[in-house]
Amino acid sequence: MELHIGKEIERVYTNSGMKISEFAKRINTSPRNVYSIFARSEIKTEQLLKISRVLNHDFFALFNVEVDKPNSEEPKGEYKTNKISIVVELDGLQTTLDQVFKRLKSINENL
């Protein structure tokens, strides 16, 4: 079944007891446009976020669907990358910098 976000917003709005003029004001639109929102099957995320906050309802949870995950196997001919963090304290000498580069090169070759 397709999700009709406008109908979901209308359902939550109706249960809120808020007046249409107040709701429109709080989401920065006109009362006429509120009815247009109720009729829509799609909505911009920024507007849905505003509406979620005003109605204190997480409409984004309605879109919680499982997304196809990429194949976990490593493609042939490609290298896996590893991330490492290294903190280096330099003293301003070129020899220290050369030693650091030499160590980094060695680490990279061993990965």
51-102: per-residue pLDDT in tens?
999 999 998 888 766 656 666 555 555 666 666 656 666 677 777 767 766 7
Which position has the token pair 């963090």?
85
Q: Does a structural domain hold residue 87? A: no
Is residue 94 in a domain?
Answer: no
Q: Name the domain count of the chain.
A: 1
CATH code of 36's domain: 1.10.260.40
Asked if residue 104 belongs to a domain, the reply is no
The 3-state secondary structure of 13-58 reads HHHHCCCHHHHHHHCCCCHHHHHHHHHCCCCCHHHHHHHHHHHCCC
Q: Which residue segment(s) compose the domain that 38 sits in?
A: 5-63
Residue 27 lies in a domain: yes
Cβ partners under 8 Å of residue 20, min gap 6: 31, 34
Residue 17 belongs to a domain:
yes
Six-digit token pair at 73? Answer: 């196997």
Structure confidence by residue, pLDDT tens digits, 5-56: 999 999 999 999 999 999 999 999 999 999 999 999 999 989 999 999 999 9
Does residue 54 lie in a domain region?
Answer: yes
